[in-house]
Chains A and B, each alone.
Chain A
Amino acid sequence: DSGVTQTPKHLITATGQRVTLRCSPRSGDLSVYWYQQSLDQGLQFLIQYYNGEERAKGNILERFSAQQFPDLHSELNLSSLELGDSALYFCASSSSGRETQYFGPGTRLLVL
């Protein structure tokens, strides 16, 4: 158990809908990362937050947004969902942003 929690574990929704994925980092970790893993595109970095502020941005679509709240949990919002958004979404946390990242169990999203 990495200490990072993600909810929900599974999510099935329809095209055009909006979903929110939630991540709670390990106690004391200030940095949260979001990743997408799909068969087509492999593992991709989406975005990083550090202590509530966006720190780095990757291949995140404009339909996707994220935030990190004062209690350090983070949410990834996916809107206008398309079939191609079906993937595993992982969050990870680290203490300062340069060290070991601890990954959550992931949320499996299926868009029908």
Chain B
Amino acid sequence: ELKVEQNPLFLSMQEGKNYTIYCNYSTTSDRLYWYRQDPGKSLESLFVLLSNGAVKQEGRLMASLDTKARLSTLHITAAVHDLSATYFCAVAHNTNAGKSTFGDGTTLTVKP
């Protein structure tokens, strides 16, 4: 059974600082998603990572995937208040295309 572990679950940062959110998973997968959710809102897709070594960047967020280590990271550079949200990773099941398992989410608070 695929298990996905995100850490930390809660993260309080100062504006301007850098930090990394980690997403570990237990079985082989060829796709990993990162999503953002604002309080009371829906999910917004941030990145889809499809291969080992994949790196994608959008603004102050950069995501990478190491399929051999079964690890993805979401790096935040020079955080700003607008990045405050909950971030989820989701890992696709190789044996059941379309099915994905989510991490518990990381709630990020960026303080001035």
Interface residues of chain A, those whose CB is within 8 Å of chain B, are 2, 31, 33, 42-45, 48, 50, 55-58, 90, 92, 97-106
Are B98 and A97 interface neighbours, CB within 8 A? yes
Chain B residues whose C-beta falls within 8 Å of the C-beta of A102 in the assembled complex: 45
Question: A58 to B101, alpha carbons, bound, how many Å?
Answer: 9
Are B98 and A55 interface neighbours, CB within 8 A? yes
Are A43 and B88 interface neighbours, CB within 8 A? yes
Chain B residues whose C-beta falls within 8 Å of the C-beta of A45 in the assembled complex: 98-102
Report the nearest A residue to B98, measured CB to CB: A56
Are A57 and B99 interface neighbours, CB within 8 A? yes
Chain A residues whose C-beta falls within 8 Å of the C-beta of B97 in the assembled complex: 55-56, 97-98
Q: Which 7 pairs between the two chains have the least Cβ-Cβ distance?
A: A56-B98, A48-B98, A43-B102, A103-B43, A56-B99, A103-B42, A100-B45
B75 interfacial by beta-carbon distance below 8 Å: no
Question: A106 to B96, alpha carbons, bound, how many Å?
Answer: 24
Q: Chain B, interface size: which category?
A: 20 to 34
B79 interfacial by beta-carbon distance below 8 Å: no
Given A42-B105, A43-B102, residue A57 in contact with residue B96 (CB < 8 A): yes
CB distance from A102 to the nearest CB of B (A): 7
Selected from A50, A100, A106, the residue in CB contact (under 8 A) with B42 is A106
Beyond the given A45-B98, A56-B97, A98-B31, could you list 4 further A-B residue pairs with CB under 8 A, ordered by the A residue number?
A42-B102, A56-B96, A102-B45, A105-B41
CB distance from A35 to the nearest CB of B (A): 8
Question: A76 to B35, alpha carbons, bound, how many Å?
Answer: 23
Chain B residues whose C-beta falls within 8 Å of the C-beta of A90 in the assembled complex: 42-43
Are A2 and B100 interface neighbours, CB within 8 A? no
Question: A14 to B88, alpha carbons, bound, how many Å?
Answer: 31
CB distance from A29 to the nearest CB of B (A): 13
Chain A residues whose C-beta falls within 8 Å of the C-beta of B102 in the assembled complex: 42-45
